[in-house]
A and B are shown apart, each in its own frame.
Chain A
Amino acid sequence: MSQMDEKIENVVSESIESSGEIDTGNLKGFWYADWSFPIMVSILAAGVFAGTHMYYVHHVGAFNEVAVIALLQAGITGGGFGAAAAFGTSFLFARILEGSLVGILDLGGSILTGLGVGIPALLLAVNFKLPLQSFPLAILTGAILGLIVGFIIIGIRKFTVGNSNSTFGADVMMGAGNLSGKFLGPLIVLSACTASIPIGFGSIAGAAIFYYWKKPVAGGAILGAMVLGIFFPIGIK
C-alpha cells in the first residue's frame, strides 16, 4: 500500500514538474482559462448540491462517503447539525486556500463535503429547508455557491501565487479524516449488534466478507445488516 502511495506520489510530482514546462501559449480559451474556472465549479457544485437534495428528499443520491453523510443524517434525525456544519465548512475553508495555492482544487473536501454537506447542514440548522426541498432551488443554490467558491479561488490565485507554499495542514486533516472513516466500519457492526441479534450476525458476516474482498468494511456491515433485516425486520421507533 505504502509502496503504491509512493509510486503515485512520484508520478504526481513528475507530472506537476513536467506540466510546469508546458508552453503556456496553447493554454488559452474557455477550456483552459482562469475566467472559465468559476463556471466549471458552479456547474459541478449545482450537481452536487442537488445530489444532497436527492438524499434529503429521496434518501439516495448524495455524492459523499458514508461517514460524512452519516453526520448529515444524524442532524436530519434530530441529533443537531453542529458537527456536520462545522466539519464541512472548515474543510471548505482549508481546501479553498490549498486549492488556490497548489493549483488543484480538491473536489472531495471543497465541493462534496463543504458545499454538499457543510452548507446544507448550516441551512438546516437555522431551519431554512427550502433550498434542499426544491430541486430547481437546489440547483440554483449550488450554482451560486460554486460560482462564489470559483471566484474566491481565482482571486486568491491572482494575489498570492508564488507567495506561499503552505498547505495549512491539509495533509494532517486528510489523514485524520481518512482514519476516522475507517472507524465507521467497526462502529456500524457494534451498533447493528445492539439493534438485534439477526441484524448483528448479518453485519458481522458482511463486514468479514467485504474485508476478505478488500472492500470497505462499512459497506459490507450495512449490506449484511439489511439482508438479515429482510427476514427478521425490527420495528422503527
Chain B
Amino acid sequence: MSFIIILIKSIIIGGFVGFGAGVGAARMFHAPTVQGMGSFRTLGELNACAGDAASHFSFGLGFFFNAWASAVGAGTFTQDVSHRIIPNWSATVWSRKGKSVEETLHNPKKMAISGTVIGIIIVSFLNLTSAAIPDSLQAIAVKVLVPAANLLINPVMPVIFWLAALDAGKRTGVYGTVFGGLAHLIMGNAVPGIVLGILIGKGVDENGWSKLTLTLFISVIILFVLSGFFRGFDLTLLQQFRLGTPQWLQLLHNLFGAGGK
C-alpha cells in the first residue's frame, strides 16, 4: 500500500520539478532578457555538452549514481537532480545529429515536456528504491548523520562563514563579525548573522548606501529586534547585567507569550 502511495506522490512531484527544471534551464539561455531559473554552473555545463546527446547523457549519469547513493543513505537526492540530471537528460531526449541547440536545448517548451517525463522517472525510481531499505538501516544513517550535522551547524559552519566574511573585505568582515556575534547571542547560531553581514557589506561595497542597501539594513535590524524579543533575549540580558526588569516589559512579554525565564 505504501508502495503505491509513494509511487503516486513521486509521479506528481517528479512531474512538477521536472517541468520547472526543464523550462527554467531553457530560459536561462535567453537571460537576461528572459528571466531564467537554474544556476550558472548548470548553464556552463549544458553549454559544455553543446547539444551532443551522448555527452549530456553521460554527464547526467555520473551524478545520477551519486544522487542514488545519497537517496539510499540519507533520504535526500542532492541538488544534482534538479541542477544536472534533469536538465542534461531532458536535453538528451531532443538532441539528434544535425539539430541545432536553438531547436532543442534552448527551447523552453520542448525542455518542459522532456523534463516532466524525465523528472517523473527519476524521482519515482529514487524514492521507490530507497523506500525499500528497511527502517532500522536508515535509522543507522540518521544516527551517524545527526551528530555530524550538529557539529556542522555549530561550530564548523559559523567559523567557515565567519572566515569567508573576514576574507571578503574590511566592511564585510566588520558587519559579519558584529551581526554574527549578535546572532549567536540572540538566535543561538552565528551563520544567519554572518550571511546578512556579508549581504550588507558587499551590497554597500558595490552600490554604496542606496535605497536598496538601506532597506536591507533596516530590515536586518528589525529582524534582530523581533527575534530577540520573541526569544526573551532582552529579559535575559537585563537579568545577567543585574538590572531589574521593568514591569511594562514583563507585561509585554506575557501579552505575546514570548520567552523569558
Interface residues of A (CB under 8 A from B): 7-9, 11-12, 15-16, 19-20, 22, 24, 27, 31-32, 34, 37, 40-41, 43-48, 50-51, 54-55, 58-71, 73-74, 77, 79-80, 82-83, 86-87, 90-91, 93-94, 99-100, 102-108, 111-112, 135, 139, 153-154, 157, 160-161, 164-169, 172-173, 175-176, 179-180, 183-184, 187-188, 190-192, 194-195, 199, 203, 215-216, 219-223, 225-226, 229-230, 233-234, 236
Count chain A CB atoms within 10 A of each CB in B41, B73, B127, B148 and give the residue with the most: B148
**Inter-chain contact A31/B109, CB cutoff 8 Å:** yes
The answer to whether residues A108 and B66 also contact, given A32-B30, A103-B32 and a CB cut-off of 8 A, is no
**Inter-chain contact B21/A44, CB cutoff 8 Å:** yes
> In angstroms, how far is the closest chain A Cβ from the Cβ of B129?
9
> In angstroms, how far is the closest chain A Cβ from the Cβ of B65?
8
Chain A, Cβ-Cβ closest to B164 = A176
Could you say which of B91-99, B136-144, B240-248 contacts chain A?
A: B136-144
Q: Check: B24 CB closer than 8 A to any chain A CB.
A: yes
A96 to B201, CA, bound (A): 17
Hey, which chain B residues are within 8 Å of A58, CB to CB? 2, 6, 127, 131
> In angstroms, how far is the closest chain A Cβ from the Cβ of B190?
10
Hey, which chain A residues are within 8 Å of B191, CB to CB? 83, 86-87
**Inter-chain contact B188/A11, CB cutoff 8 Å:** no
Range of interface residues on chain B? 35 or more
Q: Which of B77, B144, B163 contacts A191 (CB 8 A)?
A: B144
Interface residues of chain B: helix, strand, loop or mixed (majority): helix
Write the B119-159 contact mask toward A (1 if CB under 8 angstroms, else 0): 10001001100110001111111111111111111101100
The answer to whether residues A51 and B13 also contact, given A69-B75, A103-B34, A168-B199 and a CB cut-off of 8 A, is yes
**Inter-chain contact A199/B37, CB cutoff 8 Å:** no
Interface residues of B (CB under 8 A from A): 2, 6, 9-10, 12-21, 23-24, 26-41, 43-45, 47-48, 65-66, 69-79, 81-83, 107-109, 112, 119, 123, 126-127, 130-131, 135-154, 156-157, 160-161, 163-165, 168, 172, 183, 187-189, 191-192, 195-196, 198-199, 201-203, 205-207, 210, 212
Hey, which chain B residues are within 8 Å of A104, CB to CB? 28, 31-32, 35-40, 43
Hey, which chain B residues are within 8 Å of A7, CB to CB? 44, 48
**Inter-chain contact A63/B136, CB cutoff 8 Å:** no
The answer to whether residues A176 and B160 also contact, given A60-B131, A203-B144 and a CB cut-off of 8 A, is yes
**Inter-chain contact B31/A102, CB cutoff 8 Å:** yes
